[in-house]
Amino acid sequence: MAPNLSLFSVNAILILATDDSSRLLAKYYSAPHPPTGTPAGSTNYPGANPYPNVKDQKAFEKGLLEKTAKQTSDIILYDNRIIVFKMESDVMLYVVGGADENEILIYNVILALRDSLNILLKNSTDKRTIVENYDLVSLAIDEIVDDGIVLETDPIVVASRVTRPPAQDMPNMKSIDLSEQGLMNMWDLAKAKGLERLRQM
């Protein structure tokens, strides 16, 4: 019988503050499709989220911070999971995969996350900047991993999909006169332009 093949490879992506052990961002994933033969409603299968509630997640994150605080390498085996992590200023970035996952793939995910955040946050990946730009950070993670499936590991591509449009390209809504007279002026201008185009034809 063939093994159950799946693209699902990431169990969680975490961003934790090192100064007070607080959670800045945490995304836990479960395999979108349980293996064939799994009883309906069961959460005990390979790829199921091993930390289904916040209490379990916080306990895992606390232990993870304690374990990685003194590590010199950036990949460990913790709680029967592969953990790849990077320290940036006062935050720790973690990517969690199953014990049988490819370490190189998981390592590429953490590099993509770190580098895309450096691009998006202009090399100031710290607790305050992450909280102030939470939308960009969350979107970057969603561009890299969706439902535990790795989509993109090129930080330049991720950053280009997430960045905000430049301010000068945005229309200045404050300069538009929405009073009755302003709307009448816009109507007259549009009517004059339309008549001018009709005459040119």
Domain that holds residue 186: 168-200
How far apart (Å, rounded) are the C-alpha atoms in residues 11 and 84? 12
In a domain, 93, yes or no: yes
- pLDDT band at residue 86 under the 50/70/90 scheme: very high
In-domain check, residue 62 = yes
Residues 157 and 179 grouped into a single domain:
no
Global pTM value: 0.74
Structural domains in the chain (count) = 2
What pLDDT, on the 0 to 100 scale, is given for residue 98? 86
With beta carbons less than 8 A apart as the criterion, state whether 116 and 9 touch.
Answer: no
Regarding whether 192 and 173 lie in a shared domain, the answer is yes
| Co-location of 181 and 90 in the same domain | no
Q: What is the pLDDT of residue 173?
A: 56
Classified as helix, coil or strand, 15 is strand
- Residue 3 inside a domain? The answer is no
Confidence of residue 44 (pLDDT cuts 50, 70, 90): low
Q: Output the DSSP codes for 15-83.
A: EEETTT--EEEEEE---SSPPTTPPTT---STTS-S--SHHHHHHHHHHHHHHHTT-SSSEEEETTEEE
Whether 140 shows a pLDDT value over 90: the answer reads yes
Specify whether 76 is located in the same domain as 175.
Answer: no
Indicate which CATH number applies to the domain containing 32: 3.30.450.60
**Alpha-carbon gap, residue 86 to 76, rounded angstroms:** 12
Q: Is residue 2 part of a domain?
A: no
